[in-house]
Structure 1
Amino acid sequence: MQQACGPALFLARGEEAGGDTLMPLLKHYAKASQWVVLSECMVTHDSNYDIRLRQIAYINSGWSIVVTQDKDYTLQTVLYGLRCIMYRRFLSLIRTVHKPTFALCPHLRPTTKHRIWDATIQRRDVTTSGMSYSEGPIDPPLLQHTIPEHFASIVSQYGDLPAVMARNPVMMDASPPPTTSISKRAKAETTTLTYASLDALSNTVAHSLRSLGVKKGDRVAVSLGNISESVVLTYAIFKLGAIWVPLNPSFNSAQLGTALSHLGIEVLIMGAVTDLAYKPCRGRSNLELLSSLIPGLTGEKSKGKGDKIESSVVPTLKTVVLLDNSASHPQSGFPPLRDLGILTPYTTLLESSPRSVMPDSPLSANETINIQFTSGTTSLPKAAMLSHTSVLNNGHLIASRMGLEPSDLIVCPPPLFHCFGCVLGLMATATTGAAILFPSPAFDPTATLHMVSEHRATGLYGVATMFVAELELLSNPAFASQLQPDAFKNLRKGIAAGSSVPESLMRRLFNVMGLQDLVICYGMTETSPVSCMTSPHDSFEQRTRSVGRVMPHTAAKIVSPTDRNKIIPRGERGELAASGYLVMKGYYGDPERTAEDRIVDPEDGRIWMYTGDEACMDKDGYVEITGRIKDLISLLRIHSWITLAMVITDSAFAVIRGGENIHPLEVENCLFQLRGVQEVSVVGVPDERYGEAVAAFIVPHKGVRTIGGDGVVEAGKAIPIASDKEASGSQGKEEGETLGKQDVQDWVKTNLSSHLIPKYVFWIDEYPKTASGKIQKFKLRAIAKELVSSPSA
């Protein structure tokens, strides 16, 4: 693939380099500014002999290598233009420049006449090329193991250290008595597993799952919250070589049935009650959901153990393992498990031997080990297939960049069924011997802060909405007084991901909670997920303005809105794409949708994942996400007095000559600075005159009285209001601070261009979100359309 950043420099040693054969080849590639990328590099000696240097070229790191042969010119001269991490033994070979050797390449036969005369490397300068293309560093090296192999090495090193600490929900989280000791209460409700006990328990469960018929390659669905059993099941499934399919526990019957049917699930593991965010001990009973999957579940037939499950909704379903957590939800009304004999109690999985378990056949690091459903903020979820290599190394490299150590205690409220919880959380801690702490099965800010306080946690994860909820609690002196005086003494590390983190929020996290080393991660499920990340050493501005630089062993480029083959200059906005070990294997059972975004470059064979996100890259390689392409609102000036507006809904921008784009993130970041605004989300709304106009959905701070506006959304219900009236509902008190539509518009007019001023302002109590905390803008658009089209608007 041609790159506009200049040719690579290939060096050789004159006559010994192969002269007539090599030099024309070098000149050809230098002239074309191209690179050769080989997935398996080979030098052929004769018909009886192959020398293979494997796993050298599969990701982009910007190194170019020339390997020449000895003076027997009958051999092939091979040019390795590698954009990849060099395999360890090849790195050793490179460091012995001008020293012919076989010892460092044990796979070479001693009798071979091959001799490496020269191996010269030069890093291409990708940070000053002027184009929006960047390659991450080559250190630390990629792990070549499967997940079970690496986990075994961690157990051998850190077996006695805590691996998982899970806090069970307690009603006191809702209104804890001031006289109750936080540490005493929390300790009584926390389950701790060391790495050694996690290893033994997962062995036991793996043997039990095998007895249920689970084998290598089977897809096993797990629909549980952030509890210790989730982690045990995850490693048990990995050890069998089966494919772990985490599902959102809050799925309704239609969503669950669709997911199970699509993947041909035979074994489903779920809880009797689904824990709900912000509602400890007030979960949803899953009896109705299970009954929709298994007709007659509560009838007489279900009481007989050993009966086979027959489901017309999911014909492949054979076994449902039920974890009875109903005791934590006294109001759920879930019946005793003995009345549902057709289901398999989770406790029976704990009756097997803890001896080591081996898969039916050897595992390969490139095999699918995890299927993740995408978040679905702009469309229906898709099932992304991820490998051992992608999941393990993404966690490993995240841990390395943020500086995780075995002594770290990381509180992780983001859900395990999402990449944030299972890769940034579980894999990152498990690759370093650190501990992951689950404050509650579903997000609860009270439980999160209690866990940080009791364990003097060193790190805290979350999306922006989670951090906002926690800071809101801490602003209440009555609650803050219940925490230990030095609750945040050790708290420095953390990750914010899933959405942008405004500067004002970042400062509050620094000042109130002490998260001085908080980093920002960017990615998508299809890239395992993180492709860009800031560092604790980055400046405050770099950590709020950007999502950092490209991760190791990863390449990123920003391409033209109208031509994905054209990389644009730095500073310009376009679609972001990523390449490397981290790219998914594809969407399960959906080759057409896979081909839309996972594209093989025809010139060099590299696989690029196109994100659908609009971004720009600065001169130092920092990437700024400026919006979602599907969220983009564009203004086209036809004449000086006419403006036509539209929302781009395709995976690429429309062609608009002389137009100017409106980026929702730009307006959101501005409004985050307005006093009285707690959260804001901006979308495009239908408009008769302009086609599309800007609309802001705003969550005001508690105690702030809202005035005017174009509608209120309370408990998911849209209520239109006249623009000259106060918003109805409990948006604020009669006295105190106010926030009006005119305040919003004036603020944007003062700080941004006039065409960015929201025409519509809606007050909302809570955004529709995915379970991982991302705002579902497509639902906001639907609400806005309803409000705008109403007679009162």
Structure 2
Amino acid sequence: MDVAATPPAIRCAGVERSYPAFRQRAARIASGLHALGVEPGERIAIVLRNEPAHLEIAAGAALLGASAVPVNWHFRHDELSHVLGDSDSKVVFAHTDLLPAVAAALPARARLIEVPVPDGIAAACGFPCPPVTGDHPLLDTWLAGHPPLTEAAARRPSTVIYSSGTTGRPKGVLRDPVGEEQLAESVAKFLEYFAVRPGGRTLIPAPLYHASPSQHAVLALAGGLDITLMPRFDAEEFLRLVERHRVEQAQLVPTMFVRLLRLPKEVRERYDLSSLTSVVHAAAPCPPHVKHAMIDWLGPVLREYYGGSETGAVTWCDSQEWLAHPGTVGRAVETSAVAVLGPDGAPLPTGRTGEVYLKPSDTWPQFTYLGDPAKRAAMEAERLPGYVTIGDIGHLDADGYLYLSDRRSDLVISGGVNIYPAEIEGCLLGLDGVRDVAVFGIPDEEFGESLAAHVQPEPGAALTAEDVRAQVADRLASYKVPKMVVFEESLPRDESGKLFKRQLREPYWAGRDRAI
């Protein structure tokens, strides 16, 4: 069968929906939500792994004019209680095996809909498929009992993504609803910058509760793309899906690059990846040697952007631009802009490092934080109206390309010297035997802070603390050499590769005065 000639669909681990079936199910969900009392401007929550139902529920809420809140399904009681309560979600959809945790955290007035776990998704995630409980309405039975919604909302709200932040509890990013014209313009830009043709074939391997894959899915659906979701990322399975579905475009994060590159050469060469024309990445710093290796392998198909849940993509660069400006995350495109400001709030000259402020595209909807407008106001640049910061440190070069140093919250000040852990982490990822690493500041009586490196070795690697220190000492300044080296079986990351550095840092600072 000629895969490329088949009509676009939405699929994941053996579950597949045609677009007509998807649209009808979304319209029935919208009608069912209305029957449960959900009004335009209100919110519903989705506690599901990646699967077509996740997208159908979000689309149904948008048809009604309500916002979907994709929730990290790893969350437990306190975390779930916060997000479900803070978002004031009226209806919560949850996979069967997640029901006990969700039910325990359910707000008093919220209704719960049970979503059975598809066999293929349970198998991909490595657990037995649980039988339905029958304690709550089942998704398919419930939606079948409602006619499709016939009059969609004129303006569609975005999903509300809870940004994990660096301190305190996560806040929901609430963006203004968009009309059909604004959505169409966003889809056109998505197709252009993601370098995918209308009706093309895309693969989304990261969890839909994160901002980038969620927005990717929304725009891919609006553009009628053929969409393959992965319930969880597996490096070889990713290659198999690209070959099987002749995937043209995919969005990954650098941790996925590392896992792909660690596959044996004969495994990587086993699959035909010639269909790929665009591999987009964002969300985390990519060590230059990793990006070079990916371009050497796949060719100049890598494209990178930088932005946040609040701002959307602000900078872009393709492979050729990156090779000409190694380490950049791109430069501002169209009506977007970037400024680097000093402690006094004034713009810094080219090459000077400071806090990065972003001006979103004119087509990107305005945003606030749900229930916390003061946090939104605190992000704004006093001297540059329309510019906000998402907490990164970096500099611009003479051509306007942006280079990130680190997160403001991760900056280590040791003896009055600013140290950016991301640079040291990139250096250590180049050491044979290092699978993963986290570098951060710990208390130091003399210097205020010193560096700790928590290292996850490759299985069987005989690494020592001196190996780690020598790698840094040979390549970076002596003050960047970690004072403490700790070896871990694994580091706390989620499926998208986000590192929960705070979990590692907290024990060192317990009882001390530092914003961790």
TM-score by length of 2: 0.88
In the alignment, which residue of structure 2 is the partner of 1:520? 304
- The change in CA–CA distance for 1:288 and 1:165 in structure 2 (over 3 A counts) is closer
Could you tell me how far 1:395 is from its partner in structure 2? 5.8
Tell me the equivalent position of 2:513.
none
* Residue in 1 that maps onto 2:348: 568
Q: 1:551 to 1:436 in 2, by over 3 A?
A: farther
Aligned 1:418-497 pairs, distance under 5 A: 418-423=210-215, 425-440=216-231, 442-472=232-262, 474-475=263-264, 477=266, 480=267, 485-497=270-282
SS of structure 2 residue aligned to 1:611: coil
User: Are the aligned partners of 1:223 and 1:246 in contact in 2 as well (CA < 8 Å)?
Assistant: yes
Question: Unaligned 5+ residue runs, structure 1?
Answer: 1-158, 168-188, 274-285, 294-312, 636-643, 645-658, 707-739, 787-793
Q: How does 1:154-165 map to 2 (within 5 A)?
A: 161-165=7-11
Partner of 2:224: helix, strand, or coil?
Answer: coil
Cross-structure match for 1:697: 454
Distance in 1 between residues matched to 2:11 and 2:315, nearest whole Å: 29
Residues 291 and 202 of structure 1: CA distance in aligned 2, closer, same or farther (over 3 Å): closer
With over 3 angstroms needed to count, the CA separation of the structure-2 counterparts of 1:551 and 1:607, relative to structure 1, is same
What SS does structure 2 have at the residue aligned with 1:266? strand
Aligned partner of 1:237 in structure 2 is 61
* Post-superposition offset of 1:415: 1.1
Structure exhibiting the larger radius of gyration computed from Cα positions: 1
- C-alpha distance in 1, partners of 2:198/2:204? 16
Q: CA deviation at 1:680?
A: 2.4
Mapped to 2, the partners of 1:522 and 1:363 lie a distance apart of: 30
Query: Does the aligned pair in 2 maintain the 1:493–1:515 contact within 8 Å?
Result: no
Cross-structure match for 1:765: 489
CA distance in 2, matches of 1:608, 1:622: 17
The residue matched to 2:24 in structure 1 has which SS? Answer: helix
CA distance in 2, matches of 1:200, 1:521: 34
- Secondary structure at the counterpart of residue 397 of structure 1: helix
CA contact (8 A) 1:466 1:773 kept: yes
Deviation at 1:356, TM superposition (A): 5.6
**Superposition deviation, residue 532 in structure 1:** 1.7
Choose the corresponding residue for 1:608, options 387, 392, 395. Answer: 387
- 1:613-634 deviation per Cα after TM superposition (whole angstroms, max 9, x unaligned): 1010111111011111111112
The answer for the alignment partner of 1:26 in structure 2 is none
Matches within 5 A, 1:1-80: none
State the SS of the aligned residue for 2:159. strand
Q: For residues 149-186 of structure 1, what are the alpha-carbon distances to aligned partners after superposition, in whole Å with 9 as ceiling and x for unaligned?
A: xxxxxxxxxx983142222xxxxxxxxxxxxxxxxxxx
Structure 2 gaps, min length 5: 511-516
Maintained 8 Å contact 1:454/1:484: no
Residue 386 of structure 1 aligns with which residue? 175
* Counterpart selection for 2:358 from 578, 591, 595: 578
**In 2 relative to 1, CA 664–203 (structure 1 residues): closer, same or farther, beyond 3 Å?**
same
String of CA shifts for 1:724-757, please: whole Å, max 9, x gaps. xxxxxxxxxxxxxxxx222222222222211111
Q: What amino acid is the match of 2:233?
A: F
Moved more, 763-772 or 255-264: 763-772
**Aligned with 2:302: secondary structure?**
strand
Q: Are the aligned partners of 2:80 and 2:102 in contact in 1 as well (CA < 8 Å)? A: no
1:615–1:624 contact (8 Å) kept in structure 2: yes
What secondary structure does 2:158 align onto? strand
Alignment partner of 1:222 is 2:4: no
Give the alignment of 1:191-210 within 5 angstroms. Answer: 191-210=15-34
* Secondary structure in 1 matching 2:239: helix
Tell me by how many angstroms 1:272 deviates.
Answer: 0.7
Residue 597 in 1 paired to residue 379 in 2?
yes
2:201 maps to amino acid: L
Cα separation, partners in 2 of 1:364 and 1:231, compared to 1, 3 Å: closer
* Counterpart amino acid of residue 31 in structure 2: H
Aligned-pair CA distance for 1:586:
0.8
Check the 8 A contact 1:615/1:623 in 2, yes or no.
Answer: yes
Q: Distance in 2 between matches of 1:358 and 1:554?
A: 34
User: Once superposed, which parts of structure 1, at least 4 consecutive aligned residues long, lie more than 6 Å away?
Assistant: none
Name the structure 1 match of 2:514: none
* Contact kept in structure 2, 1:769 and 1:776, CA below 8 Å: yes
- Structure 2 counterpart of 1:409: 201
Change (3 A) 1:398 1:498: same
Q: Which residue of 2 aligns with 1:84?
A: none
Q: CA RMSD in A?
A: 2.9
Q: CA deviation at 1:355?
A: 5.0
| Residue pair 2:353, 2:395 contacting (<8 A) in 1 also | yes
- Tell me by how many angstroms 1:486 deviates: 4.2
2:396 match? 617
Counterparts of residues 530-545 of structure 1 (less than 5 Å): 530-542=313-325, 544-545=326-327
> CA offset at residue 416 of structure 1?
1.1
Aligned residues of 2:295 and 2:319 also touching (Cα < 8 A)? no
Distance in 2 (alpha carbons) for counterparts of 1:463 and 1:352: 40
1:751 aligns with 2:508: no
The offset of 1:432, in angstroms, is 3.7
Number of the residue aligned with 1:288:
100
**Which residue matches 1:372?**
161
Give yes or no for contact 1:203–1:236 (8 Å, CA) kept in 2: yes
Contact 1:491 1:515 in 2 (8 A): no
Q: Distance in 2 between matches of 1:487 and 1:202?
A: 35
Q: Which amino acid aligns with 1:386?
A: R
1:584 is displaced (CA, Å) by 4.3
Give the corresponding residue for 2:79.
255
Q: CA deviation at 1:692?
A: 0.9
Residue type matched to 1:337 in 2? Answer: T
Q: Report the Cα distance in structure 2 between the residues aligned to 1:449 and 1:745, rounded to whole angstroms.
A: 35
For 1:387, the aligned partner's letter is D
Measured at CA, do residues 352 and 485 of structure 1 come closer, stay the same or move farther in structure 2, by a change above 3 Å?
same
Name the counterpart of 1:166: 12
- Select 1:337's aligned residue among 114, 127, 133: 133
Cα distance, 1:333–1:540 mapped onto 2, change above 3 Å: closer
Report % sequence identity: 25
